[in-house]
Amino acid sequence: MISPLAYIHPEAIIGENVEIAPFVYIDKNVTIGNNNTIMANANILYGSRIGNNNTIFPGAVIGAIPQDLKFRGEETTAEIGDNNTIRENVTVNRGTAAKSKTVVGNNNLLMEGVHVAHDAIIGNGCIIGNATKMAGEIIIDDNAIISAAVLMHQFCRVGGYVMIQGGSRFSKDIPPYIIAGRDPIVYSGINIIGLRRRNFSNEAIEKIHNAYRIIYQSGLNITDALIKVETEIDTCPETAYIVNFIRSSERGIIK
């Protein structure tokens, strides 16, 4: 299962049933769990932590030092969870002193050429399209779909269950359950097809829709709009998530 043409540092920890192809490079201070497949020419560098049942395609680089001039060689990690597919030429840099780690959760698909910068946190069940680039300290919540060639500014957050149009670029937060697109990027309705596919009830979808009608179409400032959502719509986990997400946003949300 391990090619003699691969380099594995003697201090690296490799789990059971791991397939390592020719010309793979695995550095010291690396831990790789069970049932992983690492294809030719992948590089798993210092500080990488790989879970179980992942497939890492040729040319991927996990754990390279951050592209951040403030980095001074501190001990940090790049952590990949379980059941992820990491396609060709994906790069996941390790963290800096800011958060100490970059995290990719479970059950994600990172397509060809995706870049995950230092201290980023990607949740579970996300799909990230070809050549999408995420800057440092971003957060992507669970089950987000980000299409190809999207540029995400540092410190931004993307809410769960969103769909972001390919080729978009943004420097503000994108709240949950919506479609974001056009140029410049704007709110383009709720992600109703995605919500139905995820078995959201009609009642929950209607509450989400009503919340965003108030937030984006009432003409109220965001503070008053959130108060109106709380007072006029029966609270449910979905509306509470929307309100808390927007209230906690430091960069503000897209228009």
Establish how many alpha carbons lie within 13 A of residue 165's alpha carbon, considering only the half-sphere containing its beta carbon.
16
27, 68, 82, 119: the active-site residue: 119
pLDDT digits (tens, 9 = 90+) for 156-209: 999 999 999 999 999 999 999 999 999 999 999 999 999 999 999 999 999 999
Phi and psi at residue 78, in whole multiples of 5°?
-120, 115
Domains of the chain from N-terminus onward: 7-137 (2.160.10.10), 195-248 (1.20.1180.10)
Active site residue 119: yes
Looking from the CA of 233 toward its CB, the CA atoms found within 13 Å total 27
**In the sheet that 115-116 helps form, which strands lie side by side, from edge to edge?**
7-8, 25-26, 43-44, 61-64, 91-93, 115-116, 133-134, 151-152, 169-170
Q: Which two tokens mark 242?
A: 């929307």
Helix (H) or strand (E) segment spanning residue 110: strand 109-110
Cβ atoms < 10 Å from Cβ of 231: 8
List pLDDT tens digits, range 125-153.
999 999 999 999 999 999 999 999 999 99
**Element housing 88 (H / E):** none
- pTM over 0.75? The answer is yes
Catalytic pick among 47, 81, 95, 136? 136
123 belongs to the catalytic site = no
Per the listing, tokens 């490079």 go with 25
